[in-house]
């Protein structure tokens, strides 16, 4: 699933390309992806709206439109937004640009046409994505947005706040970093990378961690997320940038999906172990 760095990369790219463009046309072969309002209302209301702003909240993409409307997209496991040009042949989108012909970009189930000829597509292999249209004023009142924890790359996210969010938790640190109500935007990839950078074992309980260790984790959160944004995210799986190209974090990745390989720092063998239905990758030699 695209995490904070991947979503931030998409938001930054779209913000440079689609601001002030008007939506002329909309197509989908998977109506179930439209979660709110009903499909006919969504299709009617989206047409003619102008893009005013593109922003991110946790793993959600928020596209503010004219007339106080906001398009909300959660890409889920295999979704990513793409910009380019497609031709519909027998209800199948055929891409014009070479990068969009990558096999992981071939699962286009939604298309938006803009008034300058550019198009935006949602590639979503498993069709788990969520696309919604809301009155902008009502959006912040949505339960799923209100319950999100603080954004880790904002000035409001201080060490004091981080410590407060963890206080009284009985989970291990890996589970806490994955909990979107504690800190928003971090998923399986970057929780592993953050804890490797901090030299902390993912199965350490919160109550077992000393304050100096929490400070190290706090600093590693900022370091790893900023590095991942700089490298345009991780594309070893389905995620692609909006131009169809791959992110570059894979060259920097230290432990995630590297089970059985040598740790680049301690020389130990990287292990994978389940925790709460998710996998933690770590080096038992240097992560204590």
Same domain (yes/no): 8, 142: yes
Same domain (yes/no): 176, 272: yes
Same domain (yes/no): 50, 182: no
Of the pLDDT bands very low, low, confident and very high (cuts 50, 70, 90), residue 282 is: very high
What was the pLDDT predicted at 236? Answer: 85
179-229 tens-digit pLDDT:
999 999 999 999 999 999 999 999 999 999 999 999 999 999 999 999 999
The answer to the question of residue 287 being in a domain is no
The answer to the question of residue 153 being in a domain is no
Same domain (yes/no): 59, 137: yes
Residue 106 is part of a domain; what is its CATH number?
Answer: 3.20.190.10
Same domain (yes/no): 12, 141: yes
User: From CA 132, how far away is CA 146, in angstroms rounded?
Assistant: 16
What was the pLDDT predicted at 18? Answer: 98
DSSP 185: S
Same domain (yes/no): 137, 8: yes
Radius of gyration of the chain (CA): 20
Triad 241, 83, 135: Cα angle to 5°: 100
Q: In the listed set 92, 122, 146, which residue is the last one of a domain according to the structure?
A: 146
Mean pLDDT to the nearest integer, 138-157: 95
Q: How far is CA 116 from the centre of its chain?
A: 28
Domain boundaries, position 124: 4-146
Same domain (yes/no): 76, 177: no
Q: Find where tokens 């590693």 sit.
A: 220
Count: domains in the chain: 2
The count of residues in the chain is: 288
What was the pLDDT predicted at 30? Answer: 96
User: From CA 200, how far away is CA 288, in angstroms rounded?
Assistant: 5
Q: What is the residue-wise DSSP string for 195-249? A: HHHHT--TT-BGGG--HHHHHHHHHHHHHHHHHHHHTT---SSS---TTSPPPSG
The answer to the question of residue 231 being in a domain is yes
Residue 206 is part of a domain; what is its CATH number?
Answer: 1.10.8.50
Of the pLDDT bands very low, low, confident and very high (cuts 50, 70, 90), residue 6 is: very high
Same domain (yes/no): 136, 172: no
Residues carrying an active site annotation = 2-3, 59, 278
Same domain (yes/no): 66, 174: no
221-265 tens-digit pLDDT:
999 999 999 999 999 888 999 999 999 999 999 999 999 999 999
What was the pLDDT predicted at 21? Answer: 98
Q: In the numeric block, which tokens belong to residue 175?
A: 């589970």
Same domain (yes/no): 180, 113: no
DSSP 262: B
What was the pLDDT predicted at 77? Answer: 86
What was the pLDDT predicted at 78? Answer: 86
Q: In the numeric block, which tokens belong to residue 268?
A: 């130990």
Same domain (yes/no): 213, 245: yes
Q: In the listed set 101, 119, 146, which residue is the last one of a domain according to the structure?
A: 146
- SS3 of 198, please? helix
Q: In the listed set 146, 180, 202, which residue is the last one of a domain according to the structure?
A: 146
pTM over 0.85: yes
Same domain (yes/no): 120, 179: no
Whether the per-residue pLDDT at 56 is higher than 90: the answer is yes
Which residues lie below 8 Å from residue 89, measured CB to CB, with a gap of 6+?
A: none
């Amino acid at each position: 699933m695209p995490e904070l760095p991947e979503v931030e990369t998409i938001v930054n790219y779209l913000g440079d390309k689609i601001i002030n463009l008007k939506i002329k046309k909309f197509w989908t072969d998977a109506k179930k992806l439209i979660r709110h309002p009903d499909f006919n209302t969504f299709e009617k209301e989206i047409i003619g709206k102008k893009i005013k702003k593109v922003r991110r909240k946790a793993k959600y993409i928020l596209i503010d439109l004219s007339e106080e409307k906001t398009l909300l997209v959660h890409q889920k496991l295999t979704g990513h937004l793409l910009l380019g040009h497609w031709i519909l042949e027998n209800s199948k989108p055929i891409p014009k640009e070479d990068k969009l012909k990558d096999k992981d970009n071939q699962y286009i189930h939604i298309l938006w046409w803009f008034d300058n000829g550019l198009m935006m597509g949602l590639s979503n292999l498993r069709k788990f994505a969520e696309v919604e249209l809301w009155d902008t004023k009502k959006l912040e009142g949505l339960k799923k947005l209100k319950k999100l924890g603080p954004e880790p790359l904002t000035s409001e996210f201080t060490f004091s706040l981080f410590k407060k969010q963890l206080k009284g938790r009985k989970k291990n640190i890996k589970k806490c970093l994955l909990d979107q109500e504690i800190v928003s935007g971090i998923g399986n990839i970057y929780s592993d990378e953050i804890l490797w950078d901090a030299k902390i074992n993912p199965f350490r309980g919160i109550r077992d961690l000393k304050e100096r260790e929490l400070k190290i984790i706090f600093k590693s959160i900022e370091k790893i997320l900023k590095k991942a944004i700089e490298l345009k995210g991780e594309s070893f799986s389905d995620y692609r940038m909006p131009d169809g190209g791959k992110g570059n974090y894979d060259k920097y990745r230290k432990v995630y999906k590297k089970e059985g390989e040598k740790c680049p720092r301690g020389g130990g063998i990287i292990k994978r172990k389940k925790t709460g239905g998710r996998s933690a990758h770590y080096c038992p030699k240097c992560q204590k």
